[in-house]
Amino acid sequence: MPIIFIGYRGSGKSAVGACVADRLGWRFVDADVEIERRAGRTIREIFAEQGESHFRDIERQVLAELLSESDLVIAAGGGAILSAETRERLKCAGPVIYLKVSPGVAEQRIASDVTTSERRPALMDLPRRAEIETTMAARALLYEECATITLDADAKTVSALADEVMRLLPAEYRREAAT
């Protein structure tokens, strides 16, 4: 069974997920990076050329494949939970860790990530902070619906969050990490 990280853009899914994968000796996949690899273009380009619904179709297919694997840690895209089908798959796949951040922290992290504007589209025609607040509010219940573990990721380091995840994972995952 995989371990899946969900949350808004900038929540730390990729960084914490990669750290947890390393501790377990498992493979790590960032679903957005995998989508871009398969499509041969950025998410921003997919949105611009074929629209969000086409991107969401690809995202749903990629996640369905990834969620069937074992010994894998996945960072799901921030909007992956918009699909009812994906939400149901997440709930059945393995531990789902929701990294929850405040709009202010998300905004700071997004602004400091130089690749974000190149690779990720704006989701609304709003200033960045308003988009973050609106999108987070719309998705919050969906993240919570899927999560088996919810962590406040505002002020903790990647290592501290990974420690917390390892402590909260079901016992069979912790045993595997110890061997």
First-to-final CA distance of the chain: 17
Q: Which of 89, 68, 103 is nearest to 145 (CA)?
A: 89
pLDDT of residue 174: 64
pLDDT of residue 170: 84
Q: Which of 120, 96, 102 is nearest to 173 (CA)?
A: 96
pLDDT of residue 121: 54
Q: Where are the alpha helices (DSSP H) in 11-157?
A: 13-24, 31-39, 43-50, 52-67, 84-93, 103-112, 116-119, 128-146
| Ordered strands of the 149-152 beta sheet | 27-30, 72-75, 3-6, 96-100, 149-152
DSSP-derived letter for residue 82 is: G
pLDDT of residue 117: 54
pLDDT of residue 119: 59
pLDDT of residue 66: 96
pLDDT of residue 179: 53
pLDDT of residue 176: 60
pLDDT in tens, 102-142: 998 888 887 776 666 555 555 556 677 888 898 899 999 99
**Regions of the chain where pLDDT drops below 50:** none
pLDDT of residue 173: 77
pLDDT of residue 106: 85
- CATH class in words for 3-178: alpha beta
